Amino acid sequence: MSQVIDEPLERLRTAAHRTRELALGRAGTGLGHQDADDDVGTIGTDGALGFDPFPLLEALHHHGVHVVVIGQVAGIMHGSTELTGDLDLLWDGVPAHAPALAAAFISVGARLSDEAGGPVPTRPESFLHPKVQFTSPGAGGDCCTPALPWGGLRVRDFLDRAITATGPDGLVVRYACLDDLIRMRRAIGRPKDLRRAAELGSLAPGGHR
């Protein structure tokens, strides 16, 4: 059963504020989240400029979309101290749920692109691909379905094990549980993923995993 807690959202608000402060006055590089260095991560890209995942998270909640936050935003919600400049999402890929998902993205002025960076329309069918990239005024990132390969992991099961965080304003955000997030990090295996997996393992009850 999912937990209902609000500290993770406060951690995220604080981290997003710190990211914006860190990037304040920094010249744009032209690099998006897809161009992130495998060690530094998206904190070194233009995604950090004005980073604020909450408008999109609030839109997804308002439209009743069941998505799960993955990636470093989920890591921050668990207590990771590394900052990020992108928001990665996982949803179930069921076609009947795609219209609400598209409506949420449209409401925040998001634009979509395919894995090669080519623009695609912000329509329900675009979200049915294993992964679609997005940019919005507050945050960019990837929106994935369980069809995206994750090194043999049964990612669909991660949706059922997600944790629920509820803010004082009623915002509900679901995010990957700690064990699943560590598994995803290790499966990808980039330097930043392995470093963050080790950090997340140290946050687990009993220490390293």
**Given this model, what pLDDT does residue 206 score?**
64
As beta bridge partners, residue 172 has: 166
Residue with tokens 């409401």: 107
What's the pLDDT tens digit per position in 74-122? 999 999 999 999 999 999 999 999 999 999 999 999 999 998 889 999 9
Does residue 2 carry a pLDDT above 50? no
- Average pLDDT over the chain, rounded to an integer: 91
**Given this model, what pLDDT does residue 208 score?**
55
**Given this model, what pLDDT does residue 24 score?**
86
Under DSSP, the state recorded for 86 is B
What does pTM read for this prediction? Answer: 0.92
As beta bridge partners, residue 143 has: 89, 132
Contact by Cβ (8 Å): 185, 200: yes
Q: What is the DSSP code string of 172-200? A: EEEE--HHHHHHHHHHH--HHHHHHHHHH
Domains defined along the chain, listed by start: 4-203 (3.30.460)
